[in-house]
Copies of this chain bind each other. A is one copy, B any other.
Amino acid sequence: MEEHKRVVIVGGGFGGLAAAKALAGSTADVVLIDRSNHHLFQPLLYQVATAALSPADIAAATRSLFGKSSNVTVVMDEVTGVDTARKRVNAAQSGAIPYDYLILATGADYSFFGHDEWADHAPVLKTLDDALRIRARLLAAFEEAERSDEDEEIQRLLTFVVVGAGPTGVEMAGAIAELARTALAGAFRRVTSQQVRILLVEAGKTVLSAFRPEQSSQALHALRTLGVQVLLDQAVERIDESGIVIGGKRIASANVIWCAGTQARPAGAWLHAETARNKAVLVAPDCSIPGHPDVFAIGDVASHRTADGTVLPGLAPVAKQQGRYVAKLILARLAGRSAPAAFHYRNWGTMAVIGRSRAVADFGWLRLGGHMAWLTWSLVHLLLLVDHRSRLSVHLNWTWAWFTNRRAARLLTHWPGQPPRRIGGKPGSSRHNDTQHSRI
């Protein structure tokens, strides 16, 4: 009788999930460990942050995806280290979990380039809770501005600064512009869309630098059409409770959102392995870690250099393809067959969406801009969503938003009451004067 080898997968993102799915139903005993209970379709997370979609539209309980695969066990726990000598993963609650093969798919986190104190004032967009917090901040800013009588304070509340013009930053800035200009504007009596100011700050010389130049400029044009002020070649000098400093100039803002640099999670340190500058583990062509043929790193936690010398980008398709590749490789080894050749990334294209109906897409053989790219983007994302129910619900929400300009998920939850954020204003000032309230 064949012995059941155990494959432990750390991380239930695109890479880990793809590996677990490819191993489901096999003879391997698979343990998938993630610190959250759900798989998140991260490319649409900005739509939760801007109230267009609900969390359940873009996330699915990881467990429910493997209900019928009895060889896959899902454990919600946080991995704290790896003991390669004894072949064990250490988890905070479950303790030591032995493995025969280990797949590290822990992903990346945002990095504040050594300025961790900025994190308190500039939320990132990585988890559902992050998105709900950003949503609460955005919606609360409009509510506070509606109540305020001080022009300076209103300006601070309605100034939104997105740092980083990669796909997430571009999509976020576009979505805030849509939210302000269409969905929210009509519902307020005092706040007008003319008061809203959206800045996109980028240290590099262009937006979407991973795309071709013609698409970068299309995106730039689309952002400007939506009213987003794009500041290129500008490094952030400081972020604090009252705003942001760029190029020596302070911009008062209650809503700075960090979509800039990322850094791999600490799998490299667990293994004492060699890492790239962004802490990603340098991997061999077969995604294994040099010196540890049974340990693999995939997705954003891995730094994979291809034969032509370029490093694979931190994109969902890379992680998914690596997950499937490593699963196949392990199954081959378990069956005593020869392993497949080195991992080869097949680039199906890259896309980013700007606002309600514009996008850029690059499929190599086909490059699209404007509405066609947006339609394509919508279709591809609907097809990629992890379960059918999400597809229906996202479709419903998008269609609804499209026809009505309303947002279904404009709910202020995750908001700790009325925060003492009146930094610009004077508390207890003349707010009790009746004449000031003649406007409401």
Residues of A bordering B, CB below 8 Å: 31, 36-38, 54-57, 59, 61, 63-64, 66-68, 70, 73-78, 88, 92-98, 128-129, 132, 139, 143-144, 146-147, 186-189, 389-390, 392-393, 396-397, 400, 404, 406-414, 417-418, 431-434, 436-437, 440
Chain A to chain B: the 8 pairs with minimum beta-carbon distance, closest first: A95-B431, A61-B410, A63-B187, A95-B432, A37-B412, A76-B143, A56-B409, A54-B54
In the assembled complex, the CB of A17 is this many whole angstroms from the nearest CB of chain B, namely 15
Residues of B within 8 A of A64 (CB): 187, 406-407, 410
B132 & A413 in contact (Cβ 8 Å cutoff):
yes
Residues of B within 8 A of A78 (CB): 417-418
Residues of B within 8 A of A73 (CB): 189, 440
Residues of B within 8 A of A418 (CB): 77-78, 92-93
B389 & A408 in contact (Cβ 8 Å cutoff):
yes
B413 & A128 in contact (Cβ 8 Å cutoff):
yes
Task: Name the residue on B nearest A127 (C-beta).
Answer: B413
Q: How far apart sit A264 and B138, CA to CA, in the bound complex (Å)? A: 32
A94 & B61 in contact (Cβ 8 Å cutoff):
no
In the assembled complex, the CB of A74 is this many whole angstroms from the nearest CB of chain B, namely 8
A38 & B431 in contact (Cβ 8 Å cutoff):
no
Q: List 18 A-B contacts (CB under 8 A).
A: A38-B411, A55-B413, A56-B408, A59-B411, A61-B407, A63-B188, A73-B440, A75-B146, A78-B418, A93-B418, A95-B433, A96-B434, A97-B440, A128-B411, A389-B396, A389-B404, A389-B408, A414-B414
Residues of B within 8 A of A144 (CB): 93
A414 & B129 in contact (Cβ 8 Å cutoff):
yes
Q: How far apart sit A74 and B75, CA to CA, in the bound complex (Å)? A: 45
B93 & A440 in contact (Cβ 8 Å cutoff):
no
Q: How far apart sit A390 and B396, CA to CA, in the bound complex (Å)? A: 10
Q: How far apart sit A70 and B188, CA to CA, in the bound complex (Å)? A: 10
Q: How far apart sit A406 and B421, CA to CA, in the bound complex (Å)? A: 41
Which of A38, A57, A189, A396 has the most B CB atoms < 10 Å from its CB? A189
Which of A73, A186, A400, A408 has the most B CB atoms < 10 Å from its CB? A408
Q: How far apart sit A95 and B438, CA to CA, in the bound complex (Å)? A: 12
The listed residue (B38, B143, B389) touching A412 by CB distance below 8 A is B38
Q: A143-B76, A411-B56, A434-B98 are in contact. Are A67 and B129 (CB under 8 A)?
A: no
B410 & A38 in contact (Cβ 8 Å cutoff):
yes
In the assembled complex, the CB of A221 is this many whole angstroms from the nearest CB of chain B, namely 31
Starting from the known contacts A67-B187, A77-B418, A98-B434, 15 additional A-B residue pairs (CB-CB under 8 Å) come to: A37-B412, A38-B410, A55-B409, A56-B409, A76-B143, A76-B412, A93-B144, A93-B147, A93-B431, A94-B147, A96-B432, A97-B440, A389-B396, A392-B396, A393-B396
Q: How far apart sit A98 and B197, CA to CA, in the bound complex (Å)? A: 32
Residues of B within 8 A of A187 (CB): 61, 63-64, 66-67, 74
Residues of B within 8 A of A413 (CB): 55, 128-129, 132
In the assembled complex, the CB of A170 is this many whole angstroms from the nearest CB of chain B, namely 25
Residues of B within 8 A of A392 (CB): 396
A37 & B98 in contact (Cβ 8 Å cutoff):
no
In the assembled complex, the CB of A142 is this many whole angstroms from the nearest CB of chain B, namely 9
Q: How far apart sit A172 and B433, CA to CA, in the bound complex (Å)? A: 47
A97 & B408 in contact (Cβ 8 Å cutoff):
no
Q: How far apart sit A70 and B407, CA to CA, in the bound complex (Å)? A: 20
Task: Name the residue on B nearest A422 (C-beta).
Answer: B93
Residues of B within 8 A of A407 (CB): 61, 64
Residues of B within 8 A of A410 (CB): 37-38, 61, 63-64
Q: A55-B54, A61-B187 are in contact. Are A440 and B409 (CB under 8 A)?
A: no
Q: How far apart sit A390 and B404, CA to CA, in the bound complex (Å)? A: 14
B61 & A411 in contact (Cβ 8 Å cutoff):
yes
Residues of B within 8 A of A139 (CB): 37
